[in-house]
Amino acid sequence: MTEPTPARIADILRQVRDADGSTILDHAALDTTMLRDGTLHVALATDRAAAGRIQSLLPAAEQALLALPDVVAASIILTAHRPAAAPAPAPAGGHRPLNLGTPGGRPAQGPILPDVRTVIAVASGKGGVGKSTTAVNLAVGLGMEGLRVGLLDADIHGPSLPRMMGLHQPPQVRDGRMAPLEAWGIRAMSIGLLVDERQAMIWRGPMVMGALGQLLGDVEWGALDVLVVDMPPGTGDAQLTLAQKVSLAGAVIVSTPQDIALLDARRGIAMFEKMNVPVLGMVENMSYFCCPNCGHRTDLFGHGGARAEAEALGVPFLGEIPLLADIRASADAGAPIVISTPSSPAGQAYRALAHTVAATVRRVK
């Protein structure tokens, strides 16, 4: 399979014009291209003013790209762009907010995450399955395994990392880059640290992707063995943006046991497979409920569905996490349960998950 050159892709994009005769590349710049499994992924850098004008041209442009050899499908996404400018002085106290209200930030200088050895995504096909709780406890558990760990909250619309990690202050700015906050032995960053938690993040795709790009490229993560990325639920622009910007070593898929959740988990696994990202395995969250009074076990959502699904799809099964009130209480209190109650069934399950993933991280060169 021969990947088309950026020059050839640009030639085709210039043939798609709007009613005024302008082409897409009159209002955007070709950012990145990638051909995987017959699907050509094209990222165009633009600004908020031009994004609406370009949007109506995308279907015709994607159709035109099918004329390229070996291209059976095409997908164009809009990424953030802002002309380079002198950095604004930091406000008193050294804090610098993310550039909210515009779809991007300053262009990254050099490769993104040059000192991060491994990047792992924690994902789910749908919301409400405990993905963020799993990501936080996995990251802290990896730190307890002796690894240097960072945790990025990539769920722009619903950031929960600050509350779960007990972080409240905004990040400091050092030499024009944000410094991640440190808690429970790991470094963490979330857009929730930069906005009021009551503020609704009513952003379209280009702004979301721009914010994600800043959280990756404008943060001084330093030397890390692994960066755990808490992905937004579903299969959309954020997942593709992350796969284009960094080399993902693998993904952990979180699901609950019932069939409805597993349907969406399959889509998540299929998405990562299409992006050539290894699936490290599936986790069954809310696997069973333990009565806090008598200890009786009840399978509220069924049991074993994720294990059976993992076996059917040929991916590893990484373990069962029980449904316990302590998990909720520890998250609300800002102390992950692997720290607050390590001997509990949930604490032990998350530690076992972290131990398994840590072995994988150490094998990655």
Sign of the CA dihedral with 43 first, then 49, 51, and 57 last = negative
Q: Which of 106, 108, 87 is nearest to 221 (CA)?
A: 108
Residues 6+ apart with CB under 8 A from 110: none
Is residue 359 located within the same domain as residue 212?
A: yes
Give per-residue pLDDT as tens, 209-244: 667 777 777 888 999 999 999 988 765 666 777 777
- Binding-site sequence positions: 125-132
Give the DSSP per-residue string, 10-45.
HHHHTT-B-TTS-BGGGT-EEEEEEEETTEEEEEEE
The angle, 0 to 180 degrees and rounded to 10, between the axes of the packed helices 345-363 and 131-144 is 70
Q: Is residue 100 part of a domain?
A: no
Q: Is residue 86 part of a domain?
A: no
**The predicted structure's pLDDT at residue 91:** 40
Residue-by-residue pLDDT tens, the chain, 365 positions: 677 888 899 999 999 988 888 888 888 888 667 676 677 877 777 776 777 778 788 889 889 999 998 888 887 766 544 343 333 344 444 434 444 433 333 333 345 787 899 999 998 865 667 788 999 999 999 998 889 999 998 877 667 888 888 888 888 877 778 889 988 888 999 888 876 555 555 555 556 666 777 777 788 899 999 999 998 876 566 677 777 778 888 889 888 776 565 666 677 777 787 778 888 988 887 766 666 677 666 665 556 667 777 787 788 888 888 877 778 787 888 888 888 888 888 888 999 999 999 998 888 75
Is residue 130 located within the same domain as residue 43?
A: no
Is residue 346 located within the same domain as residue 204?
A: yes
Q: Which of 330, 310, 332, 333 is nearest to 320 (CA)?
A: 310
Is residue 143 located within the same domain as residue 40?
A: no
Is residue 308 located within the same domain as residue 205?
A: yes
Taking the CB of residue 219, how many other CB atoms lie within 10 A of it? 19
Based on the structure, what is the number of domains in the chain?
A: 2
- Binding-site sequence positions for ATP: 125-132
**The predicted structure's pLDDT at residue 303:** 63
Structure tokens at 333: 């209190």
Q: Is residue 2 part of a domain?
A: no
3 state DSSP class of 77 = strand
Q: State the maximum Cα–Cα separation within the chain, in Å, rounded to a whole number.
A: 73
Q: Which of 320, 260, 318 is nearest to 289 (CA)?
A: 320
Q: Is residue 101 part of a domain?
A: no
Q: Is residue 88 part of a domain?
A: no
Is residue 56 located within the same domain as residue 145?
A: no
Q: What is the CATH number of the domain that holds 342?
A: 3.40.50.300
Q: Is residue 339 part of a domain?
A: yes
Residues 6+ apart with CB under 8 A from 10: 25, 30
Is residue 15 located within the same domain as residue 148?
A: no
Is residue 133 located within the same domain as residue 241?
A: yes
d(CA 360, CA 138): 13
DSSP 8-state assignment for residue 95 = B
SS3 content of the chain, % helix, strand, coil (to 5): 35, 20, 45
Residues 6+ apart with CB under 8 A from 237: 77, 205, 208, 209
Q: What is the CATH number of the domain that holds 47?
A: 3.30.300.130
The angle, 0 to 180 degrees and rounded to 10, between the axes of the packed helices 325-333 and 131-144 is 80
Q: Is residue 68 part of a domain?
A: yes
Structure tokens at 360: 């994988």
Is residue 153 located within the same domain as residue 48?
A: no
Give per-residue pLDDT as tens, 107-116: 333 457 878 9
Is residue 156 located within the same domain as residue 57?
A: no
Is residue 159 located within the same domain as residue 40?
A: no
Q: Is residue 13 part of a domain?
A: yes
Q: Which of 80, 95, 110 is the last residue of a domain?
A: 80
Per the structure, the complete domain to which residue 63 belongs is given by 8-80
Give per-residue pLDDT as tens, 56-102: 888 898 899 999 988 888 877 665 443 433 333 444 444 344 444 33
Q: Which of 103, 65, 64 is nearest to 82 (CA)?
A: 103
Is residue 210 located within the same domain as residue 75?
A: no
Residues 6+ apart with CB under 8 A from 27: 46, 50, 53, 54
